[in-house]
């Protein structure tokens, strides 16, 4: 993906991206046909009419011969400068459509929409519910469901780069349509709302809290009360077109939308130097998965071959590391590993009343449910045979997060609902101070987190809580919590204390994630090898260090430099030694 330019070819980032792509293609020309998918009697076909098409997109589809009704549907969005045919040929989705029996639709944009044929993930007129490209893709879903009789409960969307950014938008826009998504080298939903904001998204961090990222999802379809799609995130650690921080922000966004912690439920090492980190819902099922591929640049991960877990073919922005389509299909349950008959998430979960020691919930009944499990903070606290429950024995002036899942007559627990928060009333006998507003994380280091909030009238001090336990107090509207662990997420709340020592209502929670401890590394290699390894890039025949942009000389095998990585993805020339 490149950032949009006012005129094609004039943006510095675009020049670097095209130059690097051209060099890679020339050097790898003999490799681009390796591992091509096995031919099938079915073929990629263009659909000429699928609705009003306000986004001016083209629809291409692929379905195995004799596909039965009631099968899943996958929407696959290509990256910049690519086409539906490119994605169909290289991504591996056609292979799994044949094997697991589902249809694939490939939306395609063109240079008449955007100069580099990028999906316009940054333009609200194209990326929001009911508008532009987003609506065109929704119309393609409707067309395919009508044509193939696809299971409307099993519609999925995936995309690469700009297609990944647009896929994230679609997941937020249409949680009532998509059961799951996969974002490869892409961006968080609604990261940018104009072309002027693309650089900040692609090349840096917006420094938003998980709740602020989650709000971008919730605000995309404010009326939605059901569960959000399950999301897989794929990112190379050496991606300098869409920086790896985007995968962390995607993780924060979708775990927050699910109402779950940013602390990993499990970590697993996979082939291709890939680390899989999973974040589970209240039922212990992965709601968000992050696949981080060490050393991979910008592109979709494929792994050509004919064995289990091998797929696709290498090409420009199709990189030979691990078969992302195989693992994504398994995550969605397309391989048959996931149940397709569990009950859906209850909708309409709401807090209908609170006392100082209880919270009463209600929700819409789910057809086929024998009972409902109720979870507080991810732990089951009770069950109900009706669409309501009262949780008692709570602490006054305290906030609690609840989800609900339907249980069928066989005892199978369905998908958990979206979370709601109930705050118990103050204890009787006096007036307590209100909850502080505006609680925010204003800075982190590898061992500390700094908070600020709006002052509360009448407060003598403030108690600060981490994970529900008091960790300190402050007489001002700010606090720094120290002695923390690097690369770890912590949840904080604050309560005002009056001069008599009475503790007021706790604030809404925010999450702070401490920075990683970074150990500098040095790499001595030719300019060609530095670029290949993702530590440098080329422009106009010259080589530049990623991050510092220092000129390293001509792009060839004969000029050698030592690069020192002083921060994640930031390199400086260090020929005199490290």
Catalytic residues: 161
Diameter of the chain by CA atoms?
Answer: 81
Q: Strand 448-452 relative to strand 440-444: parallel, antiparallel, unpaired?
A: antiparallel
Q: What 3-state DSSP class applies to 258?
A: helix
Q: Which two three-digit tokens encode residue 98?
A: 């044949």
Rounded CA-CA distance 504/570 in Å is 45
Rounded CA-CA distance 74/85 in Å is 15
Rounded CA-CA distance 527/23 in Å is 13
Give the DSSP H/E element, type plus range, for residue 319. Answer: strand 318-320
Q: What 3-state DSSP class applies to 407?
A: strand
Q: Beta strands of 417-502 (E only): which ranges?
A: 420-423, 440-444, 448-452, 461-466, 469-474, 478-482, 489-497
Q: Are 76 and 91 in contact (CB under 8 A)?
A: yes
Q: What 3-state DSSP class applies to 373?
A: strand
Q: Beta strands of 145-199 (E only): which ranges?
A: 155-160, 180-184
Q: Are 191 and 243 in contact (CB under 8 A)?
A: no
Report in angstroms the alpha-carbon separations of 550 from 81, 90, 199, 520, 556.
Answer: 28, 35, 20, 18, 16
Based on its alpha-carbon atoms, the radius of gyration of the chain, rounded to whole angstroms, reads 25
Where does residue 475 rank: exposed (0-12), middle (13-18), buried (19+ CB within 10 A)? exposed
DSSP H stretches of helix in 435-572: 527-532
Can you give 325-363 as a three-state secondary structure string?
HHHHHHHHCCCCCCCCCCCCCCCCCEEEEECCCEEEEEC
Q: Which two three-digit tokens encode residue 123?
A: 């333009």
| CA-based nearest residue to 71, from 154, 182, 180 | 154
């Amino acid at each position: 993906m490149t950032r949009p330019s006012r005129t094609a070819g004039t943006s510095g980032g675009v020049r670097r991206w095209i130059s690097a792509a051209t060099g890679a293609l020339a050097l790898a020309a003999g490799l681009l046909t390796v591992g091509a998918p096995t031919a099938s009697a079915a073929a990629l076909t263009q659909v000429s009419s699928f609705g009003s098409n306000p986004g001016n997109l083209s629809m291409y589809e692929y379905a195995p011969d004799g596909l039965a009704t009631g099968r899943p549907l996958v929407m696959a969005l290509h990256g910049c400068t690519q086409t539906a045919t490119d994605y169909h040929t290289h991504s591996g989705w056609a292979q799994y459509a044949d094997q697991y029996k589902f249809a694939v639709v490939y939306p395609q944009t063109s240079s008449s929409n955007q100069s580099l044929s990028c999906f316009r993930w940054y333009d609200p007129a194209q990326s929001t519910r009911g508008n532009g490209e987003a609506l065109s893709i929704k119309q393609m879903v409707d067309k395919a469901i009508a044509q193939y009789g696809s299971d409307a409960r099993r519609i999925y969307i995936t995309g690469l780069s700009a297609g990944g950014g647009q896929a994230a938008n679609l997941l937020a826009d249409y949680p009532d349509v998509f059961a799951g998504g996969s974002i490869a080298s892409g961006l968080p939903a609604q990261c940018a709302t104009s072309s002027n904001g693309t650089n900040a998204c692609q090349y840096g961090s917006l420094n938003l809290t998980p709740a602020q990222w989650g709000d971008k999802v919730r605000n995309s379809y404010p009326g939605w009360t059901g569960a959000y799609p399950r999301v897989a995130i794929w990112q190379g650690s050496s991606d300098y077109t869409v920086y790896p921080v985007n995968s962390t922000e995607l993780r924060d966004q979708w775990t927050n939308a699910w109402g779950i912690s940013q602390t990993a439920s499990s970590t697993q090492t996979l082939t291709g130097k890939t680390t899989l980190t999973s974040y589970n819902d209240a039922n212990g099922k992965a709601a968000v998965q992050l696949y981080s591929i060490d050393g991979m640049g910008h592109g979709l991960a494929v792994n050509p071959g004919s064995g289990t877990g091998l797929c696709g073919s290498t090409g420009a922005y199709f990189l030979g590391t691990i078969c992302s389509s195989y693992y994504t299909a398994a995550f969605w349950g397309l391989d048959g590993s996931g149940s397709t008959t569990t009950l859906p998430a209850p909708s309409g979960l709401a807090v209908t009343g609170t006392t100082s020691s209880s919270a009463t919930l209600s929700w819409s009944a789910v057809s086929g449910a024998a009972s409902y499990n109720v979870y507080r903070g991810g732990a089951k606290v009770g069950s109900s045979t009706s669409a309501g429950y009262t949780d008692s024995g709570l602490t006054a002036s305290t906030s609690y997060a609840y989800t609900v899942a339907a249980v069928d007559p066989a005892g199978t627990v369905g998908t958990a609902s979206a979370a709601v928060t109930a705050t118990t009333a103050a204890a009787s006998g006096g007036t307590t101070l209100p909850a502080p507003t505006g609680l925010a994380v204003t800075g982190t280091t590898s061992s500390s987190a700094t908070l600020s909030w709006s002052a509360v009238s009448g407060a003598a001090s403030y108690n600060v809580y981490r994970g529900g336990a008091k960790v300190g107090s402050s007489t001002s509207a700010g606090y720094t919590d120290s002695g923390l662990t690097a690369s770890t997420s912590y949840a904080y709340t604050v309560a005002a204390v009056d001069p008599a020592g009475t503790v007021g209502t706790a604030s809404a929670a925010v999450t702070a994630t401490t920075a990683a401890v970074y150990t500098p590394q040095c790499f001595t290699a030719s300019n060609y090898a530095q670029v290949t390894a993702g530590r440098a890039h080329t422009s106009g025949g010259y080589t530049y260090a990623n991050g510092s942009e220092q000129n390293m000389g001509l792009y060839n095998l004969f000029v050698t430099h030592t690069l020192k990585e002083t921060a994640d993805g930031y390199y400086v020339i260090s020929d005199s030694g490290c």
